[in-house]
Structure formats: C-alpha cells, structure tokens
C-alpha cells in the first residue's frame, strides 16, 4: 500500500468521522474545559478511528443475513448514546456553573471554608458560589472533588463520539443491505 493510498483512505474516513463529530457537537453542550476546541478535536479523531473500524466490519458483514445484526447495533448504540447524553447533561446541570460568561466545572466535595461560607450566607447554588469565590474553584471545592467531576464529564463526553458514529455507520449498513437488488431475468426454456 502506498503512502498516497493511505492518505486517500484516511481523508475519506476522517470526512465521515468529521460528519459524525459535527452531529455530536450539535447535539451536546460544549465541554466546560480550559480548551474545549481541543476536546472537540479529540472527539473528531475518536469518531474517525471508529469510522475506519466500522468500515472494516461493514465490508466483512455485508450480506442480507447480517441486516438484523446491523439494525440491532444501530438501536443499541443509539440507546447508549442517548443515555450518555442524558448523563452528561445531568453532570452539567449539577456541576457546571457560569462565571463571567464562561462555563466552569466545579467539584462534588466542598472545602471546610465552603461549608462555613454556605452556613453563614445561605448561598448554595453553583453560580452563586462561583461568584462568591470570584471564579476560584479551589476556594470552595476540593481538588479531588474537582478531579472526579472533570473526569466524569470528559469520559461521558468522549464516550458519546464512538457511540453516535457506530450508530450512524450501522444504520447506513442496514439500509444498504436492505436495498432491493435487481433480479436477473429468468431464463425460460421455450
């Protein structure tokens, strides 16, 4: 295989992966990270790799007898993507606030100073606490709590890329297999 053929194949695979990634970014909220564009780029790379691997499977299992398996893969990955997206939204609802028009992930464990502050001020909402801390998440949330939430957010976010990509590829394969093939004219003996 020549370098040109490898580059050509990768361009095709990454184009499909890029399409899947654009769907994920259209459906899901942007990740609350210091560099969300880097996370989106990593998601696009993951989608491209899954596209290539799915293409291998699509070539291997492309007969009519495989149609129901592809339908099952599409439905299972769609359900898993939906569950992942809902989980990601729940995490964002509970642990992401807005400070100076920027999404900021907070932790799941308060510092002793935060507990005292909340008792004295009765402030408890993420946005209010971020405002009170002047955006300094380490003032009110522990480092380990911040790490857990950031990890859960990023893992859930990245999990959605291969799920939606595989769902799309399986759907395309199921439809392609289902297309009616033209019948050869019957030979009649006269």
Going by C-alpha positions, the residue among 155, 145, 85 that lies closest to residue 111 is 145
Q: Would you tell me how many other CB atoms lie within 10 Å of the CB of residue 76?
A: 14
Task: Output 106 or 29, whichever has higher pLDDT.
Answer: 106
Helices (H) then strands (E): counts for the chain: 7, 2
Tokens of 166: 């595989």
Asked if pLDDT for residue 189 goes beyond 60, the answer is no
> Tens of pLDDT along 83-128?
999 999 999 999 999 999 999 999 999 999 999 999 999 999 999 9
> Tens of pLDDT along 130-171?
999 999 999 999 999 999 999 999 999 999 999 999 999 999
> Tens of pLDDT along 34-61?
788 899 999 999 999 999 999 999 999 9
Asked if pLDDT for residue 190 goes beyond 70, the answer is no
Task: Give the span between the Cα atoms of 73 and 94, in whole angstroms.
Answer: 31
123: left (phi over 0), alpha (psi -120 to 50) or beta: beta
Asked if pLDDT for residue 184 goes beyond 90, the answer is no
Task: Give the span between the Cα atoms of 121 and 189, in whole angstroms.
Answer: 95
pLDDT of residue 11: 82
Task: Give the span between the Cα atoms of 84 and 104, in whole angstroms.
Answer: 20
């Amino acid at each position: 295989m020549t370098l040109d053929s490898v580059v050509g194949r990768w361009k095709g695979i990454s184009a499909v992966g890029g399409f899947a990634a654009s769907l994920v970014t259209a459906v899901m909220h942007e990740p609350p990270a210091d560099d969300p564009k880097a996370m989106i780029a990593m998601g696009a790379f993951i989608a491209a790799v899954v596209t290539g691997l799915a293409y291998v499977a699509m070539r291997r299992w492309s007969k009519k007898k495989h149609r129901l398996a592809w339908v099952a893969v599409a439905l299972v990955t769609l359900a898993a993507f939906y569950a992942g997206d809902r989980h990601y939204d729940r995490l964002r609802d509970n642990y992401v606030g807005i400070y100076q028009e920027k999404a900021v992930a907070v932790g799941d464990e308060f510092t002793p100073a935060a507990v005292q502050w909340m008792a004295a001020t009765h402030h408890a909402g993420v946005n209010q606490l971020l405002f009170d801390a002047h955006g300094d998440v380490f003032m009110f949330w522990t480092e380990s709590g911040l790490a857990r939430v950031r990890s859960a957010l990023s893992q859930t976010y990245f999990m959605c890329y291969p799920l939606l990509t595989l769902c799309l590829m399986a759907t395309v394969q199921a439809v392609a297999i289902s297309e009616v093939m033209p019948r050869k004219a019957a030979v009649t003996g006269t």
